[in-house]
């Protein structure tokens, strides 16, 4: 056998793999036309490949027409649930951090607790100094309050009964009745104006997937002097939360 002879390559397989790479570059999903254009594959061929990938579980078409990678890939990689979650949400958090110039966070209600799942920060966008454990400070953070607004009233009361409202700064709300009243009438953007840490403010919006299996929040934080820019970008934060929700529908 002539070992110098070039191997036989299946062009359709190569196109499918390249198309999957392009899909992977859009964690929040992308329409078929965009995927075809970026991959250099004719639109009709891209449609056929995407339908084939979807049939085998390697791609999924969302309700709004966007395509994302399917769960079959996770089985090939042998990833755990937490690894899959981080792999899916990290690019979205990084993109929001870079767009707004502020650290971004994703938190969830897990087993009766509110936990920070991932943080995207950097030298110019430092994260909040978590000087008090988050399990003792949800009432003073935008993420914590945002998650609490999504819980039924009895679950909210149960959570607060297990987590005393510690006085962290002069701005921290420590009255349970006042906090419950505020949580029943949430604003479009849940805020922490130096309630957790003097000099730092934070904003959060809900993240709930279509299956109803996620109760979470997307948040950004920055120095209070720059917080006006964050409030003005509410529509961008909410759009990012929607992308995260679509991603989580396929992850969990």
Say whether pTM exceeds 0.85.
no
Token readout for 200 is 């730092």
CA distances from 138 to 26, 51, 180, 189 (A): 32, 44, 13, 16
Token readout for 161 is 């009964």
What is the dihedral angle through the alpha carbons of 152, 158, 159, 163, rounded to the nearest 10 degrees?
160
Chain centroid to CA 87: how far?
Answer: 10
What is the distance between the alpha carbons of residues 196 and 191, in angstroms, rounded to a whole number?
A: 11
Percent of the chain scoring above 90 in pLDDT: 52
Token readout for 233 is 């970008």
What is the distance between the alpha carbons of residues 138 and 158, in angstroms, rounded to a whole number?
A: 14
pLDDT at 240: 94
Q: In the chain, what are the domains?
A: 11-77 (1.10.10.10), 81-251 (3.30.450.40)
Q: Which parts of the chain register pLDDT below 70?
A: 1-9, 63, 74-87, 210-212, 250-252
């Amino acid at each position: 056998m002539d070992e110098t002879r070039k191997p036989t390559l299946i062009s359709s397989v190569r196109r499918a793999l390249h198309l999957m790479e392009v899909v992977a570059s859009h964690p929040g999903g992308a329409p078929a036309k965009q995927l075809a254009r970026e991959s250099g594959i004719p639109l009709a061929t891209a449609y056929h490949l995407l339908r084939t990938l979807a049939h085998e579980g390697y791609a999924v078409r969302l309700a709004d027409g966007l395509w994302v990678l399917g769960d079959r890939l996770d089985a090939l990689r042998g990833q755990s649930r937490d690894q899959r979650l981080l792999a899916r949400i990290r690019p979205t958090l990084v993109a929001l951090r870079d767009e707004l110039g502020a650290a971004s966070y994703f938190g969830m209600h897990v087993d009766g607790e509110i936990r920070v799942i991932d943080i995207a920060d950097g030298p110019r966008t430092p994260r909040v100094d978590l000087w008090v454990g988050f399990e003792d400070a949800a009432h003073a953070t935008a993420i914590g309050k945002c998650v609490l607004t999504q819980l039924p009233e009895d679950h909210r009361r149960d959570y607060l009964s297990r987590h005393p409202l510690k006085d962290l700064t002069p701005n921290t709300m420590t009255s349970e009745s006042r906090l419950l009243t505020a949580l029943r009438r949430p604003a479009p953007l849940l805020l922490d104006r130096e309630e957790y840490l003097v000099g730092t403010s934070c904003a959060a919006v809900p993240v709930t997937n279509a299956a109803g299996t996620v109760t979470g929040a997307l948040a950004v934080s920055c120095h209070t002097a720059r917080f006006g820019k964050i409030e003005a970008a509410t529509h961008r934060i909410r759009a990012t939360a929607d992308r995260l929700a679509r991603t989580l529908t396929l992850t969990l």
